[in-house]
Amino acid sequence: MPILEVRDLHKSFGRNKVLDGISFSLDQGATLAVIGSSGSGKTTLLRCLNFLEQPDHGNILVNGQTIFDAKDAPMLTEHSKRQKRFHFGLVFQSFNLFPQYTVLKNITLAVELLAKGQAGKPDFTGIETQARDLLTQMGLIDKEAFYPYQLSGGQQQRVAIARALALKPEILCFDEPTSALDPELTGEVLKVVRELAQKKTTMVIVTHEMAFARDVADHVLYMDEGRIIEEGSSEQVFSQPAHERTKQFLSRFSGGSA
């Protein structure tokens, strides 16, 4: 059984149809890369998975359980939305770290708030220990007392990844995690994402880094105008794309960094 299943997702903004019947599934421990030109709906897809946007139609299933059904959406309470969010984590293009907190607090804040809301005494020491482990994993253990503005973009993005991981999401989503970075800083971020893939973290990665997608992803979706034009193993999509549009899209990138 796939860990994530998306069925016939539709989303419009006014008359602009942004997702036009998106269906795919993802296995536990697999890495999915979503590629496609600007405006094809990649961000919107991630935002739908993370309940930042509400699809007009379709279902989202995690571990075989329907966590979103557009038919029931009007009844969705703030509380149940929050519960369902915990299946997913999202790393933003622009990091969105909290400027008033240190690196460590950025990572622990949500976990602490969650623990406070639950029965029993919150284990703050345990939460901090876990956060430090994540920082070590991100290669940032010496930065725990820093504020976000004191870090480079690449370091900030790694903190954001640690922050998302701290809640132990089943599926971690990335929206172009390196697009806001100077070219020389993308490597350090891609490196930790690659390590996560090796550890079998289930991930959905929207990216324009074709070489990286080819290298890291088990599975690739190519989106255009709100539809999935092509999907398959990364080998298949990158080496033998079946569709003309995929070929054109990929050829635009082959001259560049890929």
Partner 1 sequence: MTEIQSILLRLWDSFGLNIRLFGLTLVCALPLGLGIAFLSMSRVKVIAWCSKTLVWVIRGTPLMLQVLIIFFAPGLLNLGAPWGSGASARFAAATVAFIINYACYFSEIFRGGILGVPIGQQEAGEVLGMTRAQIFYRVTLLQVIKRILPAMSNEVITLVKDTSLARIISIKEIIMMAQEYTAKGLIWPLFSTGLFFLAFVGLLTLLFNYLERKLDYIKV
Residue with the two structure tokens 């094809």: 40
Using CB under 8 A as the binding rule, whether residue 253 contacts partner 1 is answered as no
Distance CA 33, CA 135 (A): 25
Using CB under 6 A as the binding rule, whether residue 186 contacts ligand ATP is answered as no
Among 52, 73, 145, 242, which residue sits at the site for partner 1 (rule: CB under 8 A)? 52
- DSSP class of 46: H
Long-range Cβ pairs for the range 251-257 (8 Å, 24+): 253/208, 253/210, 254/210, 257/209, 257/210, 257/211
Using CB under 6 A as the binding rule, whether residue 38 contacts ligand ATP is answered as yes
Q: Provide, rounded to whole angstroms, the least separation between the CB of residue 190 and ligand ATP.
A: 17
Q: Provide, rounded to whole angstroms, the least separation between the CB of residue 222 and ligand ATP.
A: 11
In three-state secondary structure terms, 250 is helix
The region of 38-46, 108-116, 141-149, 242-250 touching ligand ATP under the rule CB under 6 A is: 38-46
- Total residues at interface with ligand ATP (CB under 6 A): 11
Distance CA 204, CA 242 (A): 22
Using CB under 6 A as the binding rule, whether residue 178 contacts ligand ATP is answered as no
Half-sphere exposure of 37 (CA within 13 A, CB side): 11
Among 1, 13, 74, 100, which residue sits at the site for ligand ATP (rule: CB under 6 A)? 13
State the residues that interact with Mg ion by CB under 5 A. 43
The region of 11-19, 64-72, 147-155, 165-173 touching ligand ATP under the rule CB under 6 A is: 11-19
Distance CA 24, CA 232 (A): 11
Using CB under 8 A as the binding rule, whether residue 55 contacts partner 1 is answered as no
Using CB under 6 A as the binding rule, whether residue 15 contacts ligand ATP is answered as no
The CA angle 34-177-40, to the nearest 5 degrees, is 35
Using CB under 8 A as the binding rule, whether residue 110 contacts partner 1 is answered as yes
- Is residue 198 within a helix (H) or strand (E), and if so which, with residue range? helix 183-198
- Decide if 103 contacts 135 (C-beta within 8 A): yes
Phi, psi at 20, each rounded to 5°: -125, 65
* Site track for partner 1 across 65-84, x = CB under 8 A: -------------x---x--
Can you give the binding site for partner 1, defined by CB under 8 A? Answer: 50-52, 78, 82, 85-86, 88-90, 92, 94, 96-100, 109-110, 113-114, 147-149, 163-164, 167
